[in-house]
Amino acid sequence: MEPAGGQRTAGADERAALARLHGWIAPRAGELVGAFYAEVRAHAATREVLERLSAAEFATLQARQAMLLADLVAPDSAPRTLAEAARHSGRVHALLGLGFAAVVEAHGFYQRILSEYLRAAAGGADGAGGVAHAAMQSVLQGRLLRDLQGQAEAYAEIEEEFARATVRVWQTLAEAQNFTDLAGGVLGILGGLSGIVAGSLGRPDAGGVFRYEAVAGEALRDYFAGLEAGRSRPTTVHENDPTGLGASGRAWRSRRIQHTLSYATDPAIAPWREIASACGIRSAISIPILDAQGEPRALIDLYAAWPGYFTAPARGGFFAQLMSLLGLALAKLQAGPVVPFAARANYRSLLEAGALEMVFQPVVDLATGRVLKIEALARLRQPSGQLLAPAAFLPAFGTEDLLRLFEAGLAQLLFRLNAWRAAGLDTRGSLNLPAQGLTDPRYLAVIEGSLARAGTPPMRLTLELLEHAELGEASRHDGALERLRRLGVHLAQDDLGAGYSSLQRLDRVRFDEVKIDHGLLRGVAEAPQRTLDLIRHLTRLVHDLGIAVVVEGLEDPGLIEAAAVLGADAGQGFGIARPLAADAVVAWAANFRLRLDRARPATALGAYATHILWVMQCNALAPWPELLARFVVQPGGLGHYIASQGEAAQTLARLRAAMIGAAGNGIATPAFRSAEKRIRGLLGTRHRMEAARWAHPHRPPDEAG
């Protein structure tokens, strides 16, 4: 559609023929180009491409075509210039999505139209005129042929570019260790393809409005930033709203790749036509990323400077493969919460600017109240003074950010351990080790170097493993853990109960301690029996492996007491201490006292825990009625709790008496089971009342029956 080239120096005869040719064709270039487009419009492949152009774009195309035709036959056109023009034409046709077979066919039309014009203009010349006419036809065919060759080379370059991009995407998917690396890496590759103006990866929020977490190219950055500020027209998933009718909304709903062939002609993109035109966007593709169940989890949008860019046959296979690969990668890496790209950039800037500020939460021995260690927790200090918690910024960090965060956090922790020791608090410190620390050798180098610079013995450092990688990589990860153990640091498995991989790892790696996930304790108010049973079973499992147990999320005295009763070695949570500024740790440790007696619980949940153990002992003694009878009349933890509550626990006292009386006929009797169940229900109610008072300390006490 845009012939333009030649490559050899014209001799005297050729220059003479070109001069005649130019004299015939240049004045009629516009007319000849018009005839050419009238011809190609009759053919489906080229007609579809031309129909994607606006009237203004088509007029510009014809004007450029006429100029190129005049240059093609000009005697003074340099071969290098014509070759570059041919390659440019080829790139344009490739980027418009026109197949090369259609280009070859159009070239044939072009050559025929020009040849027929020359023949008619020459009027059937013979003799010298006929020789001149033949020379002009020969020169014209030669230049058209070299033009076609240049266009073919441009097509090959575009295909090679996509082939290289395929390899780079594969490498990125294989090497990405988190969602941020995946999104940024893939978009960086796609955004660098010829013809791509911009790209984005987004997910809809709870209201169905897309939030964009990674952006490639500068064209749409202001638009995406405006979305977060409420200045830009959003894109949604809603089919009953104009903002959901574009390719993005259709792709999300259909679970299939969707196109905007032309922003100039597609009525569905009316809400965004103006901003797209200003940014040089002419077409787009929306690629849904699906999970294993076929549900959309994220969406990649790519924007091109050419109408129909994404419809080239070879490109269809490329983007279909990309969709499949991204779905597999996203499932492996766990995307986490939506973090808009502007917020991601802000969090990274804060980290780079040294805004990391560690806070510190004690872990205490539940038997003695002694401080066992201090866990360092990362925060980012905003210019406003507000501290950001990890849940906000960690999902925004890629591999390099996480390494920088770990190194800076470790340096702060080791510095504080030395300062606390000088002030009289000699304790250990702990820090989370991200999953990538088990595959990236730089982490071991950072740990060794940081300990050496601080002069801190490795045994004073505990690294808490946050592990969410696939089990297929476990052997490689566990080898890294053994190298850390040989270094001398203590190892803790964090978040036990959050996933099967952590349970399986306990059988292979010699951890010094295991932390029971605080998420298991969140349902204690609604299901105290289930929560306490989980703590008891996990504690016994870990103890059977010879490993100490720390329970996280001990938010109130009831949970602290219950964890102690059920055998946990140590605890951590707001009920013990909230995260503290570094300067407050020594004073807190000097004043902290943990007063509890596992045999004499002072809280309803502690009594509940002793009751669970009491029922287990009753079951164990059931085959020996005489031993059971002597055991049940002992006060036990529940009896001591009832005695400490006085008149407020009369109902509990009556139920306990009924339960003990029923035990004489066996603990499997309906009377025993009914009384025991009512005791558990009443203890659960009392725990909820106690927890409400602890949460609102100035609230007057409730009456308990």
| Per-domain boundaries in the chain | 12-163, 179-338, 342-591, 604-695
Could you tell me the fold of the domain covering 179-338? Answer: Beta-Lactamase (3.30.450)
- The CATH homologous superfamily to which domain 12-163 belongs is Globins (1.10.490.10)
Least Cα distance to 362 among 519, 554, 549 occurs for 554
What is the predicted pLDDT for the residue at 498? 54
Is the model more confident about 313 or about 593?
593
CATH class, range 342-591: alpha beta
User: Which whole-number Å values give the CA distances from 88 to 1, 96, 554, in the listed order?
Assistant: 11, 12, 68
pTM of the prediction? Answer: 0.80
pLDDT tens digits along 465-519: 875 544 445 556 667 778 888 899 999 988 775 554 456 667 667 889 999 988 8
What is the predicted pLDDT for the residue at 130? 67
Least-confidence region, from 43-52, 92-101, 127-136, 261-270: 127-136
Q: Is the pLDDT of residue 456 over 50?
A: yes
Give the mean pLDDT of the chain: 88
Q: Which of 28-32, 73-77, 575-579 is most confident?
A: 575-579
- β-strand pairing of 428-433 with 461-465: parallel
What is the predicted pLDDT for the residue at 468? 52
Is-contact 246 269, C-beta < 8 A? Answer: yes
Least-confidence region, from 27-36, 261-270, 470-479, 511-520: 470-479
pLDDT tens digits along 167-183: 999 999 888 888 888 88
CA distance linking residue 699 with residue 705, whole number of Å? 19
Looking at residues 18-27, what average pLDDT do you find?
A: 88
pLDDT tens digits along 202-247: 999 999 999 999 999 888 888 888 887 788 889 999 999 999 999 9
Q: Is the pLDDT of residue 23 over 60?
A: yes
- β-strand pairing of 428-433 with 371-381: parallel
Least-confidence region, from 49-53, 146-150, 523-527: 49-53
Is-contact 522 551, C-beta < 8 A? Answer: no
Least Cα distance to 245 among 261, 268, 263 occurs for 268
Quick one: pLDDT band at residue 704, thresholds 50, 70, 90?
A: very low
Q: Is the pLDDT of residue 699 over 50?
A: no
User: What radius of gyration do the chain's Cα atoms show?
Assistant: 38
Is-contact 203 174, C-beta < 8 A? Answer: no
CA distance linking residue 71 with residue 530, whole number of Å? 84
pLDDT tens digits along 534-549: 999 999 999 998 999 9
What is the predicted pLDDT for the residue at 119? 84
